[in-house]
Amino acid sequence: MERSVEIVVAGVVQGVAFRWQASAEAERLGVTGWVRNEPDGTVRCRAEGPAEAVARFVDWCRRGPRWATVERVEVTDVDRRGFGSFEISG
C-alpha cells in the first residue's frame, strides 16, 4: 500500500542540516518527494512511497538531525504525484 503526505516541521529546523539529513533518510527508506525551507522558519516535505517507509520517514521528521529542536510536526495526506527521487529544493 502506497502513501503520500505533506509534512511541516516547526522549531529549530533551519540551519541544522535538516534538509540534507531528510534527503539521506528518505533515500535510505526508499521514499520519494522533496524537502525545502519555508520563509516562516519551518521545513516542508512531500514524501511518498510504501506506507511503512513513509511512516518511518515521518517518525524521523519528529526527531530530525541531532542539531535540530523539533517542536511541532503536521502531517497531511495528499494525492500521489509519482516522484522519481527525493530532491532538496529552496
Which one from 3, 28, 36, 37 is the annotated catalytic residue?
37
Place of cell 509519482: 82
Which one from 3, 19, 46, 56 is the annotated catalytic residue?
19
Q: Cα(61)–Cα(79) distance, rounded to whole angstroms?
A: 20
Q: Is 63 a catalytic residue?
A: no
**Pairing state between β 86-88 and 32-37:** parallel
Q: Is 37 a catalytic residue?
A: yes
Whether 47 contacts 7, CB under 8 Å: yes
| Residues catalogued as catalytic | 19, 37
